[in-house]
Chain A
């Protein structure tokens, strides 16, 4: 009786979440899968069961290039945000001594996150352009004679924007796990003669792994699903899967967009499934 009661109450409390996810997550995914088999005319879509969209998708060499580019962006961004995020969190957690200072500096890191992503992104453009601040400064210092072309509308600028937008998603969970490390462990390591570096590698890094994994999940999925950063920062010259989808949507080719979306979703879910093997999110928060 009591057992049953627990389940019923649990279901009641979970019902609103379940309903929202059913209506706005599960149903849309199902819809996308269905529509990926449909056909399209210039202006409308019609129910069908055909594999044309997938055939075209897998038949085009561009698809593979674009998926490869997407994974490349995700991997490089992940590596950079990890190094930067870990170092920043490490400094905050272990080198800043008062809690008040830690919180203050942590807030300093998070504040830019509350500004519109689009505005933060486009604000790089006057900075990196051919006649932008970066080039003018470098020229006035005599470091270069000609403006550097690769600063803007290149893979460099895309990655820079990604790192800028998403490092925070690495800092927060890593900082969170680091703060939960018992300081006595560090002292124990030091007492046993471990150098600072040894402590870092053998004590802190393993204990921080859950935070790193959570950050990784955020960064990888955000980069893989992005379609707007790549467009703005590469001057539409590069593409990732998200752009492929949004281009199709813009041109009303919904079934084709849906097919690409299904493949993208599968890719993301595989990556996440692998990552989740390394961490139990519910326990580690």
Chain B
């Protein structure tokens, strides 16, 4: 093994500090969420307990955390499915270089870079002027899509840039219709990337705040509820919530990674079967 240059150790130290910087605050709230029952939002610790986690599962003085969690979960899944389907379709469309594709592309880029609060404001105003009710599942859903779809689309670009067209050509040569080509050749190949799109779609929605702020209506999503809690709650229960939501995010990522891994396994096995046959 080649000896590491000195720059390696300097950079490794830098990277270590960077990771510490990323995790420091999360650790802070992780620790503070174990505050004793009399503890406050800041140090020093006032005893150690699971009090605030228990408290989280009881009804709060104001608000409805678990309702918000359920809504965020439902909304996240809705956005996830829509994002995957719409991005794949759009990704396929862009490969055809149809008339107007440049325009649509710039619209998607605009959607990505536009300050979120403008979407919130604009959608809120439209619903208001049309006399429609804003609701997290309608206006909130649409507003979040303006954030997740461009992401999904960019990932699809990345995927199709690396996509070997010869597979498709082979399928077509053997007489597959274009739908069959997509269904049996293209989709299976890009499937692992779709998990990435799904993961992005879900987490971007699950964490989305600014675009949902003025478009969620009567019922809060989880980030809005957390925002409300920063203004309504003076106890470490908010940190307990933070710790739990972080763990939940970890679980989601783990589930997706597991999915990827299983898929890889299956593919490897199928691949070897094909070899035998």
Contact = CB atoms under 8 A, between A and B. Distances in A.
B28 interface: yes
A41 B97 CA distance: 49
Given A16-B86, A264-B118, A118 B11 contact: no
Contacts of A283: 161
B32 interface: yes
Contact of B154 (A196, A224, A285): A285
A108 B105 CA distance: 32
Contact of B121 (A28, A91, A131): A28
Interface string B228-247: 00100000001101100110
B262 interface: no
Contacts of B117: 225, 227, 242, 245-246, 249, 261
Interface string A125-146: 1110101110010000000000
B226 A164 contact: no
Contacts of A115: 26, 242, 245-246, 249
B104 A18 contact: yes
Interface string A259-279: 001001100110010001000
B26 A112 contact: yes
B22 A164 contact: yes
A31 B97 CA distance: 30
B99 to A, nearest CB: 5
Interface stretch (A5-13, A49-57, A60-68, A181-189): A5-13
A264 B115 contact: yes
Contact of B113 (A17, A28, A127, A272): A272
A114 B90 contact: no
A265 B125 contact: no
Interface string A195-227: 010000000000000000000010001001111
Contacts of A133: 28, 43
Contacts of B249: 111, 114-115
Interface in B4-34: 4-5, 7-8, 11-12, 14-15, 18-19, 21-26, 28-29, 32
B38 to A, nearest CB: 16
Counting chain B CB atoms within 10 Å of each CB, the highest count among A24, A90, A126 belongs to A24
Contacts of B125: 28, 31-32, 35, 254, 258
A23 interface: yes
A17 B5 contact: no
Interface stretch (B142-150, B183-191, B263-271): B142-150
A124 B25 contact: yes
Contacts of A122: 230, 238
A27 B122 contact: yes
A282 B157 contact: yes
B161 A164 contact: no
A84 B238 CA distance: 30
B207 interface: yes
Contact of A119 (B110, B161, B242): B242
B75 interface: no
A114 B93 contact: no
Given A31-B126, A217-B113, A265-B115, A13 B142 contact: no
B158 interface: yes
Interface residues of B, number: 89
Contacts of A132: 42-43
A10 B99 CA distance: 8
30 contacts: A6-B96, A7-B99, A9-B96, A9-B98, A9-B178, A16-B85, A17-B93, A17-B104, A21-B111, A24-B145, A32-B121, A32-B125, A95-B11, A114-B203, A114-B250, A119-B242, A123-B26, A123-B28, A123-B239, A126-B41, A126-B42, A127-B25, A131-B42, A167-B22, A176-B158, A224-B115, A246-B117, A254-B121, A265-B118, A282-B105
- Nearest 9 Cβ contacts at the A-B interface: A28-B122, A225-B115, A10-B98, A13-B93, A114-B249, A285-B158, A14-B93, A123-B25, A119-B242
Interface of B: 4-5, 7-8, 11-12, 14-15, 18-19, 21-26, 28-29, 32, 41-43, 85-87, 89-90, 92-94, 96-101, 104-105, 107-119, 121-123, 125-126, 129, 142-143, 145-146, 149, 153-155, 157-158, 161, 178, 203, 207, 209-210, 214, 222-223, 226-227, 230, 238-239, 241-242, 245-246, 249-250, 252-253
Interface of A: 6-7, 9-14, 16-18, 20-21, 23-29, 31-32, 35, 84, 87-88, 90-92, 95, 105, 107-109, 111-112, 114-120, 122-127, 129, 131-133, 136, 164, 167, 176, 196, 217, 221, 224-228, 232, 242, 245-246, 249, 254, 257-258, 261, 264-265, 268-269, 272, 276, 281-283, 285
